[in-house]
């Protein structure tokens, strides 16, 4: 004679929502960091240059081509 056993039913643990006031500072920081990165890759050359010389341009040269910004 066999006895069937029933395992207890457990609920799946759902992730809790993160409040907006916890995410907002990090989202603003990531947005500003992205804007600075896009400026240096896309516009740091020529008339809009902040730094003298072509050091920044040469440092981000490959990223500029990868993202489709003209530079030659």
The reply to whether the predicted model has a pTM over 0.85 is no
pLDDT at 37 over 70: yes
* Residue 64: Cβ within 10 Å count: 19
Work out the percent of the chain whose per-residue pLDDT is above 90.
19
Q: What does the pLDDT average to over 36-60? A: 81
Say how far apart CA 72 and CA 69 lie, in whole Å: 10
Answer for the pair 44, 59: CB distance below 8 angstroms, yes or no. no
Say how far apart CA 20 and CA 27 lie, in whole Å: 10
Q: What does the pLDDT average to over 21-49? A: 88
């Amino acid at each position: 004679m066999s006895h069937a056993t029933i395992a207890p039913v457990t609920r799946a643990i759902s992730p809790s929502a993160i409040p907006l006031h916890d995410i907002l500072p990090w989202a603003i920081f990531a947005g500003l960091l992205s804007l600075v990165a896009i400026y240096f890759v896309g516009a740091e050359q020529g008339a809009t240059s902040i730094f003298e010389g072509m050091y920044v341009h040469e440092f981000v040269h490959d990223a500029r081509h990868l993202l489709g910004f003209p530079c030659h």
